Amino acid sequence: MKERKVDVVIVGTGVSGLFHALNLPEDKRILMLTKADLESSDSFLAQGGICVMRDETDYDSYFEDTMKAGHYENRKESVDIMIRSSREIIDDLVSYGVDFEKKNGEFCYTREGAHSKPRILFHEDITGKEITSKLLAQVKKRVNVEILEYTTMTDIIEEAGKCCGIYAAEQDGDQLKIEADYTIFASGGIGGLYEHSTNFPHLTGDALEVAKKHDIRLEHLDYVQIHPTTLYSEKPGRRFLISESVRGEGAVLYNKDKERFVNELLPRDVVTKAIQEQMAKDGTKYVWLSMEHIPEETILKHFPNIYEHCLEEGYDVTKECIPVVPAQHYFMGGIWVDRNSHTSMAHLFAVGETSCNGVHGANRLASNSLMESLVFAKRAANCITEEYARMEKETA
């Protein structure tokens, strides 16, 4: 078994893991690992955008929209933290080179389902890729950060109730023992456990299994979100997401007779239920999504990736409807964490979809996931930074 000693080990290289690394002190040795290649992260797949509080007058409606979508089972403190931190996070992203859509030098905001007003920043229909790739580029510049690809966490090192690092396996079968002062789970969701999912298939909830084994507190494991609109296909593998922002811009859902049957801007779980009921009534495997009410110029500018992918599958969205079906999309439960992303085990943190800080409640509001991941990843990094400062002061 190969042995390593670092200051911080981060399991996962999506937005939460990358942003966490960027907010840690540059004199700390950081090791990041990912189960596949660097771009096979769900963070790269996020299409719609990232929510932000536009100004103080937006706070109440943003808070209410998030709570309502989550069936009021959200942790209010966490929702408040996310909303109040959101503008600072956007400033951070812009400083790292993230390019959000602008008009006359001002941010453009779009709206998605269950939002009472436009408050979503975006980059075409590949916002996740824009943010994640820019953060990854910044991390690669850090001489104190090392990244291991095709390396899977198999367990944690627990000593006297404290996490002291992880065990991992490399692609060639070599075993690693990585000792660390702090360990961060940022390993994504559970989509790989489902037949139909928008997630990469290697995301199978590994951190949850490790947490169960060590009696680390878990929360709301039944809170799984189904996205209403993925492109229907008979092919095996990951389902292609048709972003909620398409419906936010005016796309409508039709039954087999091309009749509209639901308000497309209702929360995701409500729209999903309506689609499933309509498919059962029609005896079909999908319903139709029409972009006929969206100007062609808007489709090509705002949704170029969706347009191109559908074209490859034989559908021209500027001229015809596309078949869509609900699929597993997001996990709102996970490893319980406090307001600083600390788990119930000392020196172990969890961020992103792996964690459950209560922001999303029982159903995630569209485009809240990127912001939630970034806010709480930074809080975890700040907490660890403060701990190091305190320890150094005590030994000085």
Residue ending a domain, among 328, 357, 375, is 328
Looking at the fold, whether 62 and 195 belong to one and the same domain comes out as yes
Same domain, 213 and 164: yes
Residue 132 burial (CB count, 10 A): 26
Over range 123-148, report the average pLDDT. 97
Is the predicted pLDDT of residue 329 greater than 90, yes or no? yes
Q: Are residues 238 and 133 in the same domain?
A: no
Number of independent structural domains in the chain? 2
pLDDT band at 367 (very low <50, low <70, confident <90, very high): very high
Could you tell me if 253 and 108 lie in one domain? no
Q: Which of 328, 351, 375 is the C-terminal boundary of a domain?
A: 328
**Whether residues 200 and 99 fall in one domain:** yes
Q: Are residues 214 and 112 in the same domain?
A: yes
Mark whether 194 and 337 lie in a shared domain. yes
**Domain of 289?**
225-328
Q: What is the pLDDT of residue 196?
A: 83
Boundary (domain end) residue, out of 282, 308, 328: 328
> What number of other Cβ atoms are within 10 A of residue 271's Cβ?
24
The per-residue pLDDT of the chain, averaged, comes to 96
Overall average pLDDT of the 320-341 stretch: 97
**Cα–Cα distance measured from residue 198 to residue 194, given in angstroms and rounded to the nearest whole number:** 10
For tokens 């709301």, the residue is 220
pLDDT tens column, 74-102 = 999 999 999 999 999 999 999 999 999 99
Q: What is the pLDDT of residue 379?
A: 98
Say yes or no: 61 and 114 in one domain. yes
Specify the pLDDT at position 48: 86
Q: Same domain, yes or no, for 209 and 69?
A: yes
Per-residue pLDDT band at 211 (split at 50, 70, 90): very high
Residue 59 CA neighbour count, 13 Å, CB half: 10
Same domain, residue pair 170 and 239: no
Q: What is the mean pLDDT of residues 222-251?
A: 93
Residues marked as catalytic: 268
Which is nearest to 256 in space by CA: 219, 286, 294?
A: 286
Q: What is the pLDDT of residues 106-118, one digit of tens each?
A: 999 999 888 999 9
State yes or no: pLDDT of 363 exceeds 90: yes
Query: Is 323 in the same domain as 234?
Result: yes
Once rounded to an integer, what is the mean pLDDT over residues 197-203? Answer: 94
pLDDT at 195: 79
Query: Same structural domain for residues 12 and 154?
Result: yes
Provide the CATH number for the domain around residue 231. 3.90.700.10
Which pLDDT score, from 0 to 100, does residue 214 have? 98
Which tokens sit at 215?
């009696």
In 3D, which of 197, 175, 211, 162 has the Cα closest to residue 45? Answer: 197
Asked whether the beta carbons of 342 and 349 are under 8 A apart, the reply is yes
State the pLDDT confidence band at 46, using cuts at 50, 70 and 90. Answer: confident
Q: What's the confidence (pLDDT) of residue 235? A: 86
Give the closest residue to 70 by CA, choosing from 316, 363, 284, 286: 363
Q: Kindly tell me if the per-residue pLDDT of 9 is higher than 80.
A: yes
Residue 207's domain is classified under what CATH number? 3.50.50.60
Mean of pLDDT values over 46-65: 96
State how far the Cα of 81 lies from the Cα of 359, in Å rounded to an integer.
9
